[in-house]
């Protein structure tokens, strides 16, 4: 089956575009035209209605609530921008929860059917289901050359690791303190605020308000 792909994609320089860059380059490597050197352009995203719609959905469904939570902590004096203890403790408590919610949003978004397009022939169902419509024993994937991922990561994501937001020493220390928490060692949406305040206050008492490891 012949499948049409966009001749060129323009995106902003966001970190979320690096995998798409590599995938689109790989598609064009397998195409008859092989326009791999001209199929991607970086620029502003203000005219990209699809990605702007995606971000607006995230803000309404997920981020607005977290903004209120963090703003309240700041207003109440439980978080200060320049305080390393507050910053690291907040990341330790809330980042895993936020990441899980974003992953849930991604799965929900990918389960939503794509609209049919009269000028192209891709399947119009949910993205995750499209891979299962044919013989499940056949591999219909396109191989992504590792060099495309390496090139764009070196250019756009140098020294960036989304999972390394805390040093191992800080993580270990906070894990040890959490074992003594009156709220248990688990962290979830219900007890996140209490766990954050417990860790923050414990460190402020032990080491002072601005001291860290």
Q: Mean pLDDT for the chain?
A: 80
Banded pLDDT at 196 (limits 50, 70, 90): very high
User: Who wins on pLDDT, 49 or 11?
Assistant: 11
Kindly tell me if the per-residue pLDDT of 89 is higher than 60. yes
Average pLDDT over residues 185-207: 91
Q: What is the pLDDT of residue 195?
A: 96
List the chain domain ranges.
Answer: 9-134+143-207
133 against 202, higher pLDDT = 202
Q: What is the pLDDT of residue 45?
A: 65
The pLDDT tens digits for 21-37 are: 888 888 888 777 667 88
Higher-confidence position of 75 and 44: 75
pLDDT in tens, 125-157: 666 666 666 666 766 677 788 887 788 778 777
Is the predicted pLDDT of residue 200 greater than 60, yes or no? Answer: yes
d(CA 87, CA 98): 15
pLDDT at position 139: 67
User: How many CB atoms are located within 10 Å of the residue 15 CB?
Assistant: 11
pLDDT of residue 46: 66
Name the percent of the chain lying above pLDDT 70. 76
Query: For residue 180, what pLDDT is reported?
Result: 94
> What pLDDT score was predicted for residue 171?
92
* pLDDT given at position 75: 95
């Amino acid at each position: 089956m012949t499948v049409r792909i966009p001749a060129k994609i323009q995106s902003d320089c966001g970190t979320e575009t690096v995998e798409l860059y590599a995938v689109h380059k790989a598609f064009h490597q397998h195409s008859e035209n092989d326009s791999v050197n001209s199929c991607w352009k970086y620029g502003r995203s203000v005219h990209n209605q699809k990605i702007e719609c995606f971000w607006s959905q995230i803000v309404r469904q997920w981020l607005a609530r977290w903004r209120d939570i963090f703003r309240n902590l700041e207003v109440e004096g439980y978080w200060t921008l320049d305080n390393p203890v507050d910053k690291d403790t907040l990341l330790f408590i809330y980042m895993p929860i936020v990441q899980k919610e974003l992953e849930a949003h991604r799965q929900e978004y990918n389960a939503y059917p794509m609209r049919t397009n009269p000028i192209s022939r891709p399947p119009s169902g949910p993205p995750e289901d499209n891979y299962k419509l044919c013989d499940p024993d056949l591999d219909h994937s396109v191989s992504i050359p590792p060099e495309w991922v390496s090139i764009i990561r070196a250019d756009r994501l140098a020294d960036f690791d989304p999972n390394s937001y805390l040093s191992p020493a800080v993580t270990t220390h906070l894990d040890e303190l959490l074992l003594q928490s009156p709220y248990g060692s688990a962290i979830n949406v219900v007890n996140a605020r209490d766990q954050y305040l417990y860790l923050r206050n414990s460190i402020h008492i032990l080491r002072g308000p601005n001291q860290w490891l």
